[in-house]
Amino acid sequence: MALRSLDIFAPPRAHERVLGRVSGFRDGATLLCIGGLHGNEPAGVMAIRRVLEALAPRRGELRGDFVALAGNRAALAEGKRFLHRDLNRAWTEERLDRLRVEGHLNGHPEDREQVELLAAIEEVVEGARGPVYLLDLHTTSGHGGPFTTFGDTLPNRDFASHIPVPMVLGLEELVEGTLLAYLGRHGIVGATYETGQHEEPAAVDRAEAGIWLAITAAGLVPEDRLPESSVGRKLLQRETEAQPRVLEMCYRHHVEPGDAFRMRPGYRNFQPVGRGEVVADDDRGEVRMPRGGRILMPLYQAQGEDGFFLIREFRPFWLWVSYALRTLKADCGCGWLPGVHRDRGRPDEVVVDRNVARFFAVQLFHLMGYRIHEEDGSRLILRRRRFDEAALVEHGPTPESLP
């Protein structure tokens, strides 16, 4: 594989919606890669183009389909994260319902982008000849190592684990309306893959390596027929050997447009930070770390509402515990915990009264695959993620058509 560096400092350019498709003669899964959902993150698109070029002449070896789409085309053409609103915070059922009724006429540029992108994804799902896997490619404004993040279901976890970079759990609970979460609710297994700093040529190489590994993870080409995947694995292992393999999200610093938020210079992904450390300034003064841990995605650009995240190592032991709890369906027997109750009409939800329940109740439900659905004072509603079945790890779920 040519893990060469492209000139990603070239001026932004227009990209077609469907960057390419390679269809195998035999049936199999679909791997959908999306690049540039944020317009100032072209590295994913560059990597996709390299893979398409190398994969196209090898159709005969492919089982299923490789499809690649451009995310926010209007923002990619201007090299901005977004023009009016963030396209990766917009995939809520309410907004999609509204766009379906009102369409995108007279709307903002991202309304059109969202309607078109949804139609393109629908076409991919409708035409799929097996399960559908998604790799959503991104880069960060700060420097530092690559990582994946995903809704913590067993199939997503397995898919992401093929890319040997740190896995960050719990981000989807802090960020509303991502494309990955929306598609995950409809049976598409996937991960968001952050590959480095926006303008760093190595971000393209890491994205390319991850795409090759995702191709083998989705079963499109066996690994022994795809030397690029083992080259990619070595590259990523070498780069991330000093990082923990699994981390969990502890805190998100929210930024409002008028905050005048300025990150202090020099922070990188995964850099250890101490409790009380001043990491940024805003119009209220110094911004301190509420706890110790490692910093993730420090904001070094004007656009964006996440100032930084705080993460901590999550021992792989707990992954095994949660795997066991989920396969044993241990959550069925947890209604007796003090301060926890279940609504009969909603078998996938539990209501936790935080005044009564012990602090570990929420952690226990996290291990069992629940995510926080709603917070209402001391009442917390947790909902079990769909498609979180060990049986779906080997052969992914059949995706539902998107409503």
Interface contacts to Zn ion, rule CB under 5 A: 38, 41, 138
Length of the chain equals 403
The answer to whether the CB of 46 falls within 8 A of the CB of 81 is no
Nearest to 138 by CA among 62, 197, 182: 197
Nearest to 113 by CA among 83, 78, 93: 83
Nearer to Zn ion, 72 or 156 (CB): 72
Residue number with the smallest Cβ distance to Zn ion:
138
Q: Tell me the closest approach of the beta carbon of residue 218 to Zn ion, in angstroms.
A: 22
Nearer to Zn ion, 156 or 197 (CB): 197
Nearer to Zn ion, 43 or 382 (CB): 43
Q: Tell me the closest approach of the beta carbon of residue 136 to Zn ion, in angstroms.
A: 8
Sorted by sequence, the CB contacts under 8 Å of residue 333 that are 6+ apart come out as none
Q: Tell me the closest approach of the beta carbon of residue 326 to Zn ion, in angstroms.
A: 29
Backbone angles phi, psi at 119, to 5 degrees: -60, -40
Residue at 214: amino acid letter: A
As a whole number of angstroms, the distance between CA 35 and CA 68 comes to 8
Nearer to Zn ion, 110 or 331 (CB): 110
Nearer to Zn ion, 38 or 50 (CB): 38
Q: Considering all CA atoms of the chain, what is the largest pairwise distance in Å, rounded to the nearest integer?
A: 62
Long-range contacts of 355-363 (CB under 8 A, 24+ apart): 361/337
Q: Tell me the closest approach of the beta carbon of residue 198 to Zn ion, in angstroms.
A: 9
Calculate Rg over the CA atoms of the chain.
21
DSSP state of 133: E
Nearer to Zn ion, 178 or 322 (CB): 178
Question: Helix, strand, coil: what percent of the chain each, to 5?
Answer: 35, 25, 40
Q: Tell me the closest approach of the beta carbon of residue 157 to Zn ion, in angstroms.
A: 21
The answer to whether the CB of 153 falls within 8 A of the CB of 278 is no
Q: Tell me the closest approach of the beta carbon of residue 55 to Zn ion, in angstroms.
A: 24
Q: Tell me the closest approach of the beta carbon of residue 158 to Zn ion, in angstroms.
A: 24
Nearest to 188 by CA among 198, 178, 197: 178
Nearer to Zn ion, 15 or 138 (CB): 138
Nearer to Zn ion, 179 or 289 (CB): 179
